[in-house]
Amino acid sequence: MDLSYTDEEEEFRAGLRDWLAAELPRLPDRPDPLDWPGRRAYDCGWQRRLYDAGYGHVHWDASPTQRLIFLEETERAGAPYVGANFVGLLHAGPTIAAEGTPAQRARWLEPVLRGDEVWCQGFSEPDAGSDLASLRTRAVRDGDAYVVTGQKIWTSHAEVADWCELLVRTDTEGPRHRGISWLALPMDAPGVSVRPLRTLAGSTEFAELFLDEVRVPVDNRVGDENDGWRVTMVTLSFERGTAFVGEVVACRRLLGELARAARENGRWDDPALRRRLGGLAAAFQALWRLTQRNVSEAQATGGVPGAGGSVFKLHYSHARQELYDTAAEVLGPDALDLGREWNLDRLSSLSYTIAAGTSQIQRNIVAERILGLPKGR
């Protein structure tokens, strides 16, 4: 057990700090949250700066510890987060890096790292949410292409994406999990249409994706035919593993802001609120430590996070919702004003216990895969 970093890691940290201090004041103004093309341009511009400075690769090639340091320092400095590049950098990218052929890695990874291409994730379907393996979007082989027909839903960032990591059914006969393949779908292919869906926060950050006989080259398949489920599990463990690290740091920063705001407006005098903030600070500190442990384990086992990601995700998503409820308490009546800081984030936080696997599903995973309890209802 050792929480200290090596000299090399500390050097990496110091260099990054200097770079951030010089670079962040030069960033353009943040776009309006409802301006998707503007957000894409901003997020890709940031990624490009990282790339040019030699940090573009950090999500995959760097050691998990370096990645942790990167996320910690960027967040601490108030740098932009991955934004529209979430799927490219944290889902599809790592999957291609782990499972793709050299040609596929060469084709898709560089543009993501350079901030040239944006990806989205087309997994969920209207009838396949928690039960992802029941997905029905059909891909039929026709020469050197698959002909894909079906519907996806809740596809985040679909409107501004160039590529979609798509799960399709390539076999309808055998066990459900063994008939799925992972394809890279070009979003501008004929037969692809996107219908934006409005969230309860009023934005259209996800969409329905309709696929009508879309031809996707067989070369766009990552992993073997019918092996997409295993390939997907790699992606999902990334999603639940380290994808939220930066946000834990952000939550810790927010706690500091809440304490400051409460001291200013007098609510700090309320012991119940102080204790709630104290409890949350302990939880986020521990979540940070849990992340460090998960990362150490990932480092030892070759970089793919395991079921420990579910432990983290489960506690984190509830703690973060609680954090915004506490922010509302700090704000008092101003919590009803969407023009005030934190209140839109509170609305967004309602999705945390649903997206990337609901809390009920995470509990099933913890109970069945970690504790070995029997599968059941």
Ligand X SMILES: Cc1cc2nc3c(=O)[nH]c(=O)nc-3n(C[C@H](O)[C@H](O)[C@H](O)COP(=O)(O)OP(=O)(O)OC[C@H]3O[C@@H](n4cnc5c(N)ncnc54)[C@H](O)[C@@H]3O)c2cc1C
| Given 73, 99, 205, 239, the catalytic residue | 239
Radius of gyration for the alpha carbons in the chain, expressed in angstroms and rounded: 21
**Is 239 one of the annotated active-site residues of the chain?**
yes
When asked if residue 343 is in the footprint of another protein (CB under 8 A), the reply is yes
When asked if residue 8 is in the footprint of another protein (CB under 8 A), the reply is no
Per-residue H/E/C for 20-65: HHHHHHHCCCCCCCCCHHHHHHHHHHHHHHHHHCCCCCCCCCCCHH
For 158, other C-beta atoms within 10 Å of its C-beta total 26
Contact letters (x/-) for another protein, 235-274, by CB under 8 A? -----------------------------------x-x--
Pick the piece of the chain touching another protein (CB under 8 A) from 32-40, 79-87, 300-308, 347-355.
Answer: 347-355
Q: Which partner, another protein, ligand X, none, binds residue 6 by CB below 5 to 8 Å per kind? A: none
User: Shortest Cβ distance from residue 351 to another protein (Å)?
Assistant: 5
When asked if residue 121 is in the footprint of ligand X (CB under 6 A), the reply is yes
Per-residue H/E/C for 89-124: HHHHHHHHHHHCCHHHHHHHHHHHHCCCCCEEEECC
Report the distance separating Cα 113 and Cα 116, nearest Å.
8
When asked if residue 155 is in the footprint of another protein (CB under 8 A), the reply is no
User: How many residues bind to ligand X according to rule CB under 6 A?
Assistant: 20
In a 10 Å sphere around its CB, with 0-12 CB exposed, 13-18 middle and 19+ buried, how is residue 54 labelled? exposed
Angle at 209 between CA 214 and CA 245, to 5 degrees: 120
The residues in 122-141 that bind another protein, with binding defined as CB under 8 A, are: 124, 127, 129-131, 134
Q: Which partner, another protein, ligand X, none, binds residue 301 by CB below 5 to 8 Å per kind? A: none
Binding site residues, ligand X, CB under 6 A: 120-124, 129-130, 154-156, 206, 351, 354-358, 360-361, 364
